[in-house]
Structure 1
């Protein structure tokens, strides 16, 4: 007897591409599985033409999808992990699935941050990218940009911006490799927690769906993802906070780079360390950042 699973996702081209990829993996690893996808319009999608200040920063691209999970209309939801808040609604859980794509940020429209004129207009929707552009490269003319990847690229091509900073993973998943001018080193331009990683959200206690997610897990991915998200959680940060956290697993140890920057880019605190336990590492990093004044940088914003 065949199984059926209903997967909720946003309707954007990138979200659809990511969900279709997970559908193929699920069916390859679970023969006979029937999948129905449910396109959902979220609060973030409805606010696409409004400035980022109009968003709450707490799951604006997930709330309506999570409602579909909680009311039983959907069994599973696929997200970009970087969009998933540290705190989930009661009754839901999230796990990292599939191999992580390149976690770096990409410059689009130019091949080096040092080739960007001082008055160039750089577009980004991320407070972290904005603060890091100011902090790492002294770029002050950073302007807000909204819309999906295609919309942003169109605005660049039409001359509304001179350069963009986008997630490398999204460009690669859309087959837009040729638009990448430079992949910014994640050890310097530290990415958001979970960037490049796909996430599966589901109802706690749904053992059938949990077993399907088991078939999507990659060795070490959950530990790395949990470590990055735990740092953000312990800092009391969210997607409106200029925080970068990047963890990798190698030689049986977890290595992490983490940075908090004030929105002006003038001040920052940074930690780089390693540990055999991802849980201990996250605690050490968060405590170190807080002891160095990270919370004061939050208050600046």
Structure 2
């Protein structure tokens, strides 16, 4: 008898949107499903920057435990939040077709602050470092919470702007649907707590796997793995594999300022890769751009990372780890 697939998810609005999306796709294939919402430590502990918590996979750990304990059958995540090494027994069952990969600057309507001293908010070290690299006269402050909470904080503070992932804003219908990786340079934000303007940051290299959703399951659950595998998008799977391999080889976990984006070019059957590693203050930047034939994709992220490490990135990574070491 076919079982009900229990879908584990965080209980934020965005996480629930992702879970319902997977639920609909499985229901359309004829499977019976149920959503089980679980609050993670990353959602509870909002008073510290993520890197200070010293936990890799803080948004995924609670669901991993729930799955291992048999409380849920699958978990749905924003793939950029998932550690590159999954817990023993848990497997990547599907990567859904990728959404917009870009970051978005949300501001209060006047963009002149870019050329002045200003304060911009983000909870991401990658965004912080790239922002300070481009705008060294700015100050970056930490911003945590779900999307609507962060919008409200932007409204309530005297910050000039804050940086969000385009995919998250689109999934919550806070921005118009932009074409993948591109879009209008300026558009209205439709948040109930903030009526500002969004700007697509096409110069900022996204987080590895940004814009992608991943579904994980227990490796020994053949029924569930078979069901979920039908949702897999092979192009997104390959590109996110390359980006996460780059991240894993740099040993960045989920905290170091590392950007990575792989794109398939159907015109000449190649994979184009753009990666970066920055110091926390944005003053040092290692960047790499490579293009290889599609047949060479499996080691692209590894070789790109090794090139960065061999050209000075190894020393920078050691410095970053020292700076981010939890204070005892």
Pair 224,96 (structure 1): closer, same or farther in 2 beyond 3 Å? farther
User: CA separation in 1, counterparts of 2:116 and 2:83?
Assistant: 34
Matched with 1:37 is 35
Deviations 1:12-57 (A, max 9, x none): 01100111111111111x12x2111111111111202333343224
Match of 1:268 among 265, 285, 288: 285
Match of 2:225 among 179, 197, 210: 210
Match of 1:151 among 149, 152, 161: 149
Q: Contact conserved, 1:231 with 1:286, CA < 8 A, in 2?
A: yes
Pair 236,100 (structure 1): closer, same or farther in 2 beyond 3 Å? same
Shift of 1:201: 1.0
**1:225 and 2:240 aligned:** yes
Matched with 1:62 is 60
Normalised by the length of structure 2, the TM-score is 0.86
Shift of 1:9: 0.4
User: CA separation in 1, counterparts of 2:281 and 2:117?
Assistant: 17
Shift of 1:283: 2.1
Aligned with 1:116: secondary structure? helix
Matched with 2:276 is 259
Matched with 2:180 is none
Matched with 2:24 is 24
User: CA separation in 1, counterparts of 2:249 and 2:78?
Assistant: 21
Q: Contact conserved, 1:124 with 1:130, CA < 8 A, in 2?
A: yes
Match of 2:136 among 135, 138, 157: 138
Query: Structure 1: which 5+ runs fail to align?
Result: none
Shift of 1:137: 2.9
Count of paired positions: 297
Deviations 1:180-239 (A, max 9, x none): 511111xx3111001000011111132111111222112311111111111111111112
Aligned with 1:292: secondary structure? helix
Q: Contact conserved, 1:104 with 1:183, CA < 8 A, in 2?
A: yes
Q: Contact conserved, 2:250 with 2:317, CA < 8 A, in 1?
A: no
Residue pairs, 1:144-223, within 5 angstroms: 144-177=142-175, 178-179=188-189, 181-185=198-202, 188-223=203-238
Shift of 1:86: 0.8
User: How much is the aligned-residue C-alpha RMSD, in angstroms?
Assistant: 1.8
Matched with 1:106 is 104
Matched with 1:289 is 308
